[in-house]
Structure 1
Amino acid sequence: MKRNVGKTDRVIRIVLGLVIIVLGYLNNSWWGAIGLIPLLTAFVGFCPLYVPFKINTEKSAAE
């Protein structure tokens, strides 16, 4: 797995994931578990949904 999630993308995913988890907790809903997906992709640095669309927000070493 080559990283395809950049720094800004990671920060957005972490914030979004935490917001979803908190909202799920406050609403007593299992939907808060969905917030784990953006957190996981942020910490791993790889998003499988980016692969088929050839999206890469990670800056390469050459840039």
Structure 2
Amino acid sequence: MFEKNMGNTDRAIRAAIGVVLLILAFTSLGGAWAWIAGIVAVVLLATSAMGTCPPYSLLGINTGKPKT
């Protein structure tokens, strides 16, 4: 559907931040902050898993290796 536009470093950073936010959402945050952190975590983990970021596509950003 979307062309991959994220490099391995970008994906790893997003995944790490997503995991941290998810842990915080379930352990130490409460109320609306837990929901916000959980939603942001899911989005970061999903974009990391897919290797594509829709805002990157709109802005013409590509952190992956250029196609040869």
Is the shorter-chain TM-score for this pair beyond 0.5, marking a shared fold? yes
* Cα 1:53/1:61, change in 2 over 3 Å: closer
Q: Could you say what secondary structure the match of 1:46 adopts?
A: coil
Q: Could you say what secondary structure the match of 2:44 adopts?
A: helix
Partner of 1:54: 60
Question: Is 1:14 aligned to residue 15 of structure 2?
Answer: yes
Partner of 1:40: 46
Higher share of residues assigned helix: 2
* Runs of 5+ unmatched residues, structure 2: none
Aligned residues: 62
| Identity, % of aligned positions | 35
What TM-score, normalized to structure 2?
0.81
Q: Partners of 1:14 and 1:60 in 2: how far apart?
A: 22
What TM-score, normalized to structure 1?
0.87
